[in-house]
Amino acid sequence: MAVNSSTHRALPLNRPVQLRFRLSPAFFYYRTSSRPLFSSDAPNLRLVSVRAHKAGSDGFSNKKSVNLTDSEAPIGSSRSSTSSAIDFLTLCHSLKTTKRKGWINHGIKGPESIADHMYRMALMALIAGDIPGVDRERCIKIAIVHDIAEAIVGDITPSDGVPKEVKSRMEQEALNEMCKVLGGGMRAEEIQELWAEYENNASIEANLVKDFDKVEMILQALEYEMEHGKVLDEFFLSTAGKFQTEIGKRWAAEINSRRNSRLANKLS
């Protein structure tokens, strides 16, 4: 279903968050539980409002809506910040349910979600050996937020034909709106800063998490090859020679070595 400025759908939660988009005539944003669908034209996506509907007895919203910015509690109050936190977390729910499109395109049944991917990246940052000058906690935070804007725009892959600069702009606008839902403040600013640091590859921590993004992908590809009997060369070829850090190179080499041994055993 194409989403437009007059279409709303409430989530069956106590305080569901609704998103309303304004789309150019050339761009249609299609959202299912699995993926967005893009037209061949460059998209122009802008989130223009976020509204919360009070739930009825059946768990779905009634017709009365309340602007999140019109909270009964004063801005900065405990009640207001609590409400904003739950609204933000509800918005992030789609990260748990939106499946990574690269796997869908290759016919993987029941593939990982965006949140699955980010979680194992955070684990990588947690277990990686100490690296001089690298802030491990910051790496974990970057891993957690680097794909967070996909809660709104979905998992955009090269197969969608969306130019890199357009994708970045869409995600930045989505992140801006998510931080407004959170209520602004220090935490929202931190999320913005961490996301921009990763997007711009602007630090050694960002370099490392960029590598973890690729390492997690090829590790998942190997696992799906083993589970589904597929050959997923594309993911290994697209990452070859693109690792920036020594640990990224070592981990990628280990995964490729295991894959090569497995393929050799199948041929013998």
Percent of the chain surpassing pLDDT 90: 66
Residues sharing a CB contact under 8 Å with residue 226, sequence separation 6 or more, in sequence order: 262
The pLDDT tens digits for 116-155 are 999 999 999 999 999 999 999 999 999 999 999 999 999 9
The answer on pLDDT for 174 being more than 50 is yes
Q: pLDDT band at 55, cuts 50/70/90?
A: very low
Residue 78: predicted pLDDT = 61
The pLDDT tens digits for 95-124 are 999 999 999 999 999 999 999 999 999 999
Whole-angstrom distance, CA of residue 2 vs CA of residue 23: 10
Tokens matching residue 15 = 């305080």
The pLDDT tens digits for 12-23 are 444 444 444 443
Whole-angstrom distance, CA of residue 178 vs CA of residue 167: 16
The pLDDT tens digits for 229-245 are 999 999 999 999 999 99
Query: What is the C-alpha end-to-end distance of the chain, expressed in Å?
Result: 50
Q: pLDDT band at 94, cuts 50/70/90?
A: very high
Whole-angstrom distance, CA of residue 64 vs CA of residue 16: 12
Q: Report if pTM > 0.85.
A: no
Environment class of residue 42 by beta-carbon count within 10 Å: exposed (0-12), middle (13-18) or buried (19+)?
middle
Considering the chain, what is the average pLDDT of its residues? Answer: 79
Q: pLDDT band at 266, cuts 50/70/90?
A: confident
pLDDT (mean) for 233-261? 97
Percent of the chain surpassing pLDDT 70: 70
* Single-letter code of the amino acid located at 44: N
Whole-angstrom distance, CA of residue 167 vs CA of residue 161: 10
The pLDDT tens digits for 60-75 are 334 333 344 433 444 4
Q: What is the 3-state secondary structure (H, E, C) of the chain?
A: CECCCCCCCCCCCCCCEEEEEEECCCCCCEECCCCEECCCCCCCEEEEEEEEEEECCCCCEEEEEEEHHHCCCCCCCHHHHHHHHHHHHHHCCHHHHCECHHHHHCCCCCCCEHHHHHHHHHHHHHHCCCCCCCCHHHHHHHHHHCCCCHHHHCCCCHHHCCCHHHHHHHHHHHHHHHHHHHCCHHHHHHHHHHHHHHHCCCCHHHHHHHHHHHHHHHHHHHHHHHHHCCCCHHHHHHHCCCCCCHHHHHHHHHHHHHHHHHHHHHHC
